[in-house]
Structure 1
Amino acid sequence: MAGNRKSQRIEPSFHESEGREDDDFHVGADDRVTGGGGRKGRGKPAKASRGRRGAGRRREPSLGFFGLVRRLFYWCIVLGIWGAIGVGGLVLYYGARMPSATSWAIPARPPNVKILAVDGAIIANRGLTGGEALSLEDMSPYIPQAVIAIEDRRFYSHFGIDPLGLARAVITNIASGRTVQGGSTLTQQLAKNMFLSPERTLERKVQEVLLSLWLEHKYTKDQILAMYLNRVFFGSNSYGVEAASRRYFNKSARDVNLGEAAVLAGLLKAPSRLSPARDPEAAEARAQVVLGAMREEGYVTDAEIKTAMSQTPARAKRYWSGAEHYAADMVMSQLPGMIGDVTEDLVIDTTIDLDLEKKADEAIKATLDKDGAKLNASQAALVSIDGTGAIRALVGGRDYADSQFDRASKAKRQPGSAFKPFVYATALEQGRSPLSVRNDAPVKIGKWTPENYDQKYRGEVTLANALAHSLNTIAAQLVMEVGPSEVVKLAKRLGIESELQANASIALGTSEVTLVELTSAYAPFMNGGYKATPHIIRRISTADGKVLYENTYDNPPRVLSPEIVSMMNGMMERVITEGTGKNARIPGWQAAGKTGTTQSFRDALFVGYTSNLTTGVWFGNDDGKSMRQVTGGGLPARAWSQFMIAAHKGLSPSPLFGTGIGQTPANEDTRPAPEGDQLFDIISRTLGTEERPTDTGAAVATGEGGAVAVDDGLVPPADVGSRRQTGTHRTTLLDVLLGG
C-alpha cells in the first residue's frame, strides 16, 4: 500500500503568484491532497486545473483610484493629440484660403476731417469715424485703464489669445445657460473689426485667431491698444474715443475724467443700448461696473471711485447739438468740389468765430422761446459775414439736434421787400437820387395792382422816404422805369446766384433766394462797393501741413460805385432810424438795413449791416404756414439787434461808408451825395425837400409798410395811430444837380 501510494503521489505545480516580485516557487493550497477526496481527485486532475485557470481569467482586477487617474490621463493625451491634429487641419485649411501673410497690412483708418474755427478751436470732426486718431500718450490715461479692466484684464500678458479668459467665459456661459461673457481679447476684437465680417462662422473665428497672432507678432501692445481705441464703435456714429468723447461729453478725449472714461468703456458691451444719449441711467449703471473692475485691478483708489460716483451722470443729446454743426455741414458739402474725394486726414481752417456763433444761436433761441409759439413761428435762421464775404456765424435752424436742415444756405424763400434795395440801387445808377419824388398812389401794371402793406397812400414822397417805409407802389414804379432785367443784372452782380424772374413783381421780392446769398449781396453796401463772395473755408491742409487749397477772396471786384454806396447807406439807415426797421437799432452804432415780409406772413426777414458785419435773419415755418402777422420789422429785427449788440460789444463805433462820422439824427433829412455828404446836406436843407414827420403820441415800433408792434404783438396802424409822411414839394434843382 505504501508503495502504491508512493507511485500515485501528486506532484506540486509551479507558477508565479500575482503581485510578487521574486522568483521563488510556491505551492498553492489547491494543489495539496485533502482528506476524503483522493481518488475522486486523481481521476480528473487536468480538467480541474483548466477550470481554475479559466476562472482566473474571468475575474477583472480592481484598478483603484490611481489607476482611474492614470487611465484618464492616458486618454486625455490621446484625445488631445487627435484634437490638436484636427485643429491644425482646420487652421491649415482655412489659413490656406487667406492671402499670404506677407501681404497682410493694417487697413487705413477712414480719413477724418478736422474743422477749425478762426482761433484754432475745434468746431467738429467729420468723416466715417467722427474723430481724429490719438496716441495713448495724448488721451486721458483713464480711458485705456477702464477698457482693459472691463474688456481684457490680461491684455499685457497674453499672446493675442487668452486661454484662461476663454475657459472662464465658457464655464460662465454654461453655468448661466446663455451667452453672458465673451472670451475674445482686445487683439481679437481689433482683428475682427479691421479685417473680417461680423458673421459668426468657424472660418471667421479661425481667421480671427490667425490675424490676432500676426498682430501680436508685428506690433507692440501699446500700438495694438491705440489702434483698438481709435477704431472701436462707441455708438451714435462715433468710431474711436475722440469722436465718442466729443459726441457724448463735448470735449476731447484728452480731457476725459474718470467717470466719463468709465462710461466710454461701458459702451463697448452694447454701444446702442448703453448710450448716454439713449439711456443715461443704463450708461451710468454700466459705468459703476467698470469703476469696480478698475478698483479690482488697482488702477484707481476707493477715494477716486467715490469722487467719480458722485459726479452727475452724462446727459448727452440724442444727436449732435449746437449751431456750429450747421457750419460743419456746410464745410463738408463744399469740400468735394474743392479737392475731390477725401482720401486722407484733413484739417480745415474756417472763417467761423465760435463766440459769434454762440451769440447768434442764443439770439435765435431766445426770440423763438419768447414769442415763437405765440406768433406761430417755429423756425429761424441767421448768417453773419464780414466785408470780405467770410461767414463769421451761421445758424441753420432752431436746434441742430432736432433738425439738421440748414435753412440759411439750403432753403430758398421769397425775400419780400428785402429785395427792394437792388431796385433802388438800379434806379440810382440810372440817374435817380434819394430825393427824387414819386407819387404814392394806386398803380396798375398789366393785371397786377400792387398795394402798400397798410393799403394807404401818401401822395408825393421821396425815394428815401419810400424805401424807409417800404412802399410797394413806388418800388413797382421804379422797376418798370429802370427795367426788370436791369434789376436782375445788378442783383446778380452783387452776389445773388439763384434764378431771378425779370418781371415787375421782382420789385417785391417774388423770386426765391437763400438767406446766405441775400445777405452777401448786401455786403457791398457795407464795404464800399466790392463784391463779397460768401465763403466759409479759408484753407485745406493735410494732417502733416501740406496746403491743398487756400481761398483767393482778398482781391474782390468792384460792383458798385462809391457814390451809389453812399446814397444807399443813407437811405437804408433811415429804415432803422425812422422806418420799418426800428426794432433793429444798435445803441451807439450806425446801422442800415431792410425789412422783408412775404404774402400771408409766410416769411419775415431783416438784413442789415454796420461798418463791421452784415447779418441776415429769417423767421418762418418749414411747411410754409402763415405766422401771426410777423413782419420783418418784428421778430427778425429784434433777433438781429440782439445778436449785433452782442457781436459789437467792446468794439469802437465807426460810421457807415460815405455817411460821415457819428450818428445821423433820426429827424434830419440829410443824405450824402456823389459830391460829398456836406454838399448834399447844404442843398437839402436849403431847398426844404421834405416835410418833417411828426409823432402822433407815444413812440411805437413800426413793422413792414407801417404795421406797428405793440406789446410784442402786431396790429394794423389804423388801430393805434400812425406816423405818416403827408407830402413833399418836388425839387427839380436837386434832381438836376444829382442827375435825378
Structure 2
Amino acid sequence: MNDLNLPDDEKGKRPHKKSSFLLEVDAWIDSALYDSSFQAAQTWEDITIFFRRFRPYGLNRAIFEIAGETMTLVMAGMIVMLALAIPSSREIAQNWRDQEQFAVTFLDRYGREIGQRGILHTDAVPVEDLPDHLIKAVLATEDRRFFDHFGIDAMGLVRAMTENVRANSVVQGGSTITQQLAKNLFLSNERTIERKVKEAFLALWLEANLSKQEILKLYLDRAYMGGGTFGVGAAAKFYFDKDVRDVTLAEAAMLAGLFKAPARFAPHINLPAARGRANEVLTNIVQADFMTEGQVTGARREPADVVLRASTESPDYFLDWAYEEVKSFIVENGIPTRSVVVRTTIDTDLQRAADEAVQFFLRKHGQDYNVGQSAMVVLERNGAVRALVGGSDYGVSQFNRATAAERQAGSSFKTYVYAAAIDHGLTDETVIADRPITWRGWSPQNYNRSFAGRVTLATALARSINTVPVWITRDHLGGTAPVVEMARKMGVESNIISHHTMVLGTSGMTVMDQATGYLSLASGGIAGLRHAFTQISDLSGEIIYDRRRAPETGTRILEQGKVEMLNRMLVNVTEWGTGRRAALEGIKVAGKTGTTQAYRDAWFVGYTGNYAAAVWYGNDDYTPTNRLTGGRLPAMTWQRIMEYAHANADLVPLAGVEDSIPAASEEEAVEVAEEEAQNGLARRLVLSEESVRFLFALEEKLAATEPLAADQQQLASRTR
C-alpha cells in the first residue's frame, strides 16, 4: 500500500518500526559478543591463575624445559624415522616365508656342481636339537641379551660404543641377531642410514611376529659361513665333515667366530686366524657367564681341526642373483616343486679369469686411484651370463654391486641416446654443431671446456662430446622420452629418471643392465636374450624346464642397417677415441667409456661379435676416485678378460664392420689426445710410427709420476 493514501498520523510509521527492530537486534548482538568475550577472558584468567600453582621455578623449571624440548625432538625424530621406514613395509608385504621352501642346487654350464642356496639337503636342524654349547657360543659372541631385548638392544649398543671408544677402533658391533636377520632376509649390505632405519623397523616387526626360537633358527640357517656355505648345518659338514648335532665345543667356537667375518676367519683358508677367533669366542662365553673357565680350558688346549679340501671357489655373487631369478621363474610359471637342480650359464673358467682381472687391477692401481670396488658382467652373444663379479671380496661384503647398485652411467649412457637418434632417422654422417646450449637452465660443458664446431655423429660419439647428444635430444628427438623408451627396449631395467640431464648419464644404472643393453647391439638388434640358466629339474632328475629345447628368439628393436651403423660408430671409440685401451689385437671392439662428476664412477661397456661386457670401478660410499676415467682401469680390465674369453674361440664378426676401418684423420686424433692430456693421460693414437713410439714413452712416464703441470702439458702437446 502506498503511504500517500494513509492518514497523516500513519505516514512513516511502518519504516520507523522496521529500523527500530534492526537497531535492537544489532544492540543485542554487540552485547552478546561483549559479554561472551568478557566471560571467555574471565574464564581464561581463572584457568591461568589455577595453573600458576603448578608452574615450576628454578631447577625444576630447567628440568621441565629440557624434558619438553626432548619430547619434541623425539617425536620429530620418530616421524622422520617412520617416513624413512615406510619402504620396508613393501618387503614384509611379500610372502617372504615362501623363501624357506626353496632348495636349489646349482650346476655350471658343463653340469658340475658349484653351490647351493636356500634350506638345502642337510635339512635345517631344529634349535632344540642343536648342541647347547653351540647356542651359547653364538649368543655370547653375537647377542648376549638376545632373550631379553625386543629386537633393538639399547644397553648392548651403549656397551659396544663404550668398548669402541676405549679401543679407539671398531671392536664391537651394536646390531642384535634380530637386526642381522632382518638384513639377511630383506636388505642388502649397503652401508647407508636408510638401510639401518629399515633394519631397525624390520627387527621390531620380526620380534612382533616371530618367537625368539624362530628368529634364532632363521639366523643360524641363513647366515653366510664362508666356503660358499650358508647356515651352521652346511658349515659343520663342509669344515668338519660331521652333523651339526655332533660338533664339539672347540668346533662350535670356530663356527660362532665365522659370523663376524667369514672370509677372514674361514678355517680352510686361514686355520691359525680361525683358531685365534675361536679362542676369543671361548673368552666371550666365560665373560657372559654361560660357562666357567674350567669348562672351556679343554677347548683352548685342543682347538678344532678341519677337513682338508681342495681349494674351490664358488661364484657366490652369481649364485645369489641366479637364486632370485630361479625363484621368480618357478613362482611365475606355477611350478609346484621348490627343491630343484639348476644348470646355469656360468663358465667357471671365465668367472675365475674375471675375478682375477678385477683383483689384479685393484691390487696394482687401487691405492693410486683411491678406488676400492669393481663389478663386471660378461654375456655371450646368445644372452648367457658367463661371468659376474659383484665386488672385490664376497666374504667381506655380500652386497652385489653388479645387480643391485645403480651408479651414474656417465658418457656410457650416450650409446642409448645415439641409438634413439639413429632409430629416428639420423645417420653417422649427420652433422651437428658442437656449440653452447642451454636447456631449461642447464648449460652442459665439454670435458676440455671448448667446442669443436660442426662434427658428424660418429666423431661426436668417438670423442665423447657432451653438447651434441643434448642438441640431438632436445631438437631432433623432442625430449628425453624416446631415449628412455630405447633404453627400455634394449633391456635396461634400472630406474632411469626422465630428466634432461640424464642425456649425459646422471641416472643410475646397474652393471647388469649396461651389459644387457649393449648386448642388444652385439646380437644384431635383438633384445630379451639374457638368461642365467638353461635347465631346471627336480631331485629325481625329471626335467621341468629346458631352454635348449625351445630357445628364446628375443625381440628385434633396431633394423639391421641401423645396428650396423651404431657398430661402426662405437668401433671408432676403441680405434681412435677414448676407449683405445680396450682394443683387442685382430678383433674389432665396439664400446663406450663413461666417467661421472667428481670421478665417482668409471665405466667401460663394450662388445665384440662374441661377447658383451660391462666394467665399473668406484667406491661404496660414493667418495671420488683420484681422477679415474673409464678409459683407464675399466677399459684395461675389459681388455684383459676379453683376451681370455676370445682365446681359441670361433670369432663372430660384428655386423657392418669391415676388417679394416679407416683411421681417424691426423687432426681428429691429435684433438682427442690433447683433451686426454689435460687429465695427465696419454693414450695410443692412430698416427705415424714415430708419434706412436713417442706417446708410448710418454705414457710410461705419466704412469710413474704425478700428473703433468700445465706448462709440461703444453710442451707435450706442441711436441706431438
With normalisation by structure 2, the TM-score equals 0.57
Please report how far the alpha carbon of residue 245 of structure 1 lies from its aligned counterpart in structure 2 after TM superposition.
5.5
Superposed CA deviations along residues 408-442 of structure 1, whole A, max 9, x for unmatched, are 00000110100101111222222222122222222
Report deviation, 1:244.
4.6
The code of the aligned residue for 1:193 comes to: D
Q: Residue type matched to 2:576 in 1?
A: E
Counterpart in the other structure of 1:482: 477
Q: Does 1:659 align with 2:618?
A: no
Aligned counterpart in structure 2 of residue 635 of structure 1, from 633, 636, 640 = 633
Counterparts of 1:123 and 1:497, CA distance in 2: 28
2: CA distance between counterparts of 1:370 and 1:199? 43
> 1:559-708 counterparts in 2 under 5 A?
559-660=557-658, 662-667=659-664, 697-698=691-692
Residue of 496, 500, 504 corresponding to 1:504: 500
| 2:538 is the alignment partner of 1:546 | no
Q: Which residue of 1 aligns with 2:405?
A: 411
Q: What's the counterpart of residue 326 of structure 1?
A: 317
Contact 1:377–1:627, Cα closer than 8 Å, also in 2 = yes
> Between Structure 1 and Structure 2, which shows a larger proportion of helix residues?
2
Aligned to 1:378: 372
Instruction: Report the 3-state secondary structure (helix = DSSP H, G, I; strand = E; otherwise coil) of the residue aligned with 2:613.
Output: strand
- Structure 1 letter corresponding to 2:380: D
Instruction: Provide the C-alpha distance between the structure 1 equivalents of 2:462 and 2:635, rounded to a whole number of angstroms.
Output: 14
- Name the CA distance, whole Å, in 2 between partners of 1:569 and 1:647: 20
* SS of structure 2 residue aligned to 1:273: helix
Which residue of structure 2 aligns with residue 427 of structure 1? 421
Check the 8 A contact 1:323/1:395 in 2, yes or no. Answer: no
Q: Is the 8 A contact 1:589 1:654 kept in 2?
A: no
The residue that corresponds to 1:124 in the other structure is 115
> Does 2:530 correspond to 1:534?
yes
1:170-191 Cα offsets, whole Å, 9 max, x none, are xxxxxxxxxxxxxxxxxxx999
Tell me the residue number matched to 1:361. Answer: 355
**Are residue 720 (structure 1) and residue 713 (structure 2) matched?**
yes
Alignment of 1:162-241 (within 5 A): 193=129
Partner of 1:272: 252
> Is the contact made by 1:606 and 1:633 (CA closer than 8 Å) also made in structure 2?
yes
Q: Which residue type is aligned with residue 636 of structure 1?
A: P
Give 1:44's aligned residue: none
Q: Post-superposition shift, 1:550?
A: 4.3
Cα deviation 1:288-320 (Å, max 9, x = unaligned): xxxxxxxxxxxxxxxxxxxxxxxx977999xx9
The 1:463–1:722 alpha-carbon spacing in structure 2 relative to 1, beyond 3 Å, is farther
Is residue 426 of structure 2 the alignment partner of residue 441 of structure 1? Answer: no
CA contact (8 A) 2:233 2:243 kept: no
Deviation at 1:360, TM superposition (A): 0.5
Matched letter for residue 330 of structure 2: I
Mapped to 2, the partners of 1:567 and 1:323 lie a distance apart of 40
CA distance 1:404–1:425, change in 2 (3 Å): same
Any residues of structure 2 matched to 1:210-359 within 5 Å, and which? 244=236, 246=238, 248=239, 267-275=247-255, 277=266, 280-281=271-272, 322=313, 324-340=315-331, 344-359=338-353
Give the superposition deviation at 1:649. Answer: 1.1
Counterpart of 1:720, as a letter, is Q
Does the aligned pair in 2 maintain the 1:111–1:342 contact within 8 Å?
Answer: no
Maintained 8 Å contact 1:595/1:605: yes
Contact 2:511 2:616 in 1 (8 A): yes
The letter of the residue matching 1:272 is A
1:400 correspondence with 2:397: no
Deviations 1:699-740 (A, max 9, x none): 6889xxxx999317895897536999xxxxxxxxxxxxxxxx
Change (3 A) 1:637 1:708: farther
Corresponding residue to 1:115 among 97, 106, 112: 106
Asked whether the equivalents of residues 412 and 604 of structure 2 are also in contact (C-alpha less than 8 Å), the reply is: yes
In 2: Cα distance, 1:235 partner to 1:377 partner? 27
- CA distance in structure 1 between the aligned counterparts of 2:317 and 2:497, rounded to whole angstroms: 30
Which one has the largest radius of gyration?
1
CA distance in structure 1 between the partners assigned to 2:368 and 2:506 by the alignment: 27
Alpha-carbon offset, residue 499 of structure 1? 2.8
Q: Contact conserved, 1:387 with 1:532, CA < 8 A, in 2?
A: no
SS in 2 for 1:447: coil
**Alpha-carbon distance in structure 2 between the residues aligned to 1:239 and 1:495:** 35
In structure 1, the gaps of 5 or more residues are: 1-108, 134-188, 201-230, 249-259, 286-311, 670-691, 725-740
Per-residue CA deviation, residues 3-60 of structure 1 (Å, 9 max, x unaligned), is xxxxxxxxxxxxxxxxxxxxxxxxxxxxxxxxxxxxxxxxxxxxxxxxxxxxxxxxxx
Write the deviation string for residues 636-676 of structure 1: whole angstroms up to 9, x where unpaired: 0011111111111122444211113x24353489xxxxxxx
Distance 1:650 1:414, change over 3 A: same
CA distance in 2, matches of 1:712, 1:610: 32
1:561 CA drift (Å): 0.7
1:519 positional shift:
1.2
Residue 585 of structure 1 aligns with an amino acid whose one-letter code is A
Report if the CA contact (8 A) 2:129-2:245 is conserved. Answer: no
Quick one: which amino acid aligns to residue 413 of structure 1? R
| TM-score, normalised via structure 1 length | 0.56
How far does residue 495 in structure 1 lie from its aligned partner after superposition? Answer: 1.0
Q: Is the 8 A contact 2:345 2:534 kept in 1?
A: yes
Q: 1:542 to 1:467 in 2, by over 3 A?
A: same
Q: Relative to structure 1, is the Cα distance of residues 385 and 283 closer, same or farther in structure 2, using a 3 angstrom cutoff?
A: closer
In 2, are the aligned partners of 1:379 and 1:620 still within 8 Å (CA)?
yes
Residues 493/119 of structure 1: CA separation in 2 closer, same or farther (3 Å cut)? same
Q: 1:111 to 1:412 in 2, by over 3 A?
A: closer
Q: Which amino acid aligns with 2:661?
A: T
Match of residue 205 from structure 1: none
Deviation at 1:513, TM superposition (A): 1.4
Distance 1:234 1:668, change over 3 A: closer
Contact 1:277/1:315 (8 A) holds in 2: no
Q: Deviations over 1:337-366 (max 9, x none)?
A: 222499653101111111111111011110
Shift of 1:110: 7.8
Aligned to 2:554: 556
Q: Take 1:268 and 1:642, find their aligned partners in 2: how far apart are those partners?
A: 47
Q: CA deviation at 1:573?
A: 0.4
In the alignment, the residues of structure 2 paired with residue 264 and residue 712 of structure 1 have an alpha-carbon distance, to the nearest angstrom, of 54
CA distance in 2, matches of 1:375, 1:110: 45
Change (3 A) 1:454 1:323: farther
| Mapping 1:96-175, distance limit 5 Å | 112-129=103-120
Gaps of 5+ in 2: 1-99, 137-220, 256-264, 277-304, 667-685
Describe the shift of the 1:699–1:440 C-alpha distance in structure 2 as closer, same or farther (beyond 3 A): farther
Note the C-alpha offset of 1:328.
0.7
Amino acid at match of 1:545: G
| Equivalent residue letter for 2:500 | A
Cα distance in 1 between the residues matched to 2:506 and 2:453: 25
Give 1:711's match in structure 2, choosing from 703, 706, 712: 703
Match of 1:203 in 2: none
Instruction: Look up the equivalent residue of 1:335 and give its one-letter code.
Output: V
* 3-state secondary structure, aligned to 2:251: coil
Give the 3 Å change call, closer, same or farther, for CA 574–273 of structure 1 in structure 2. same
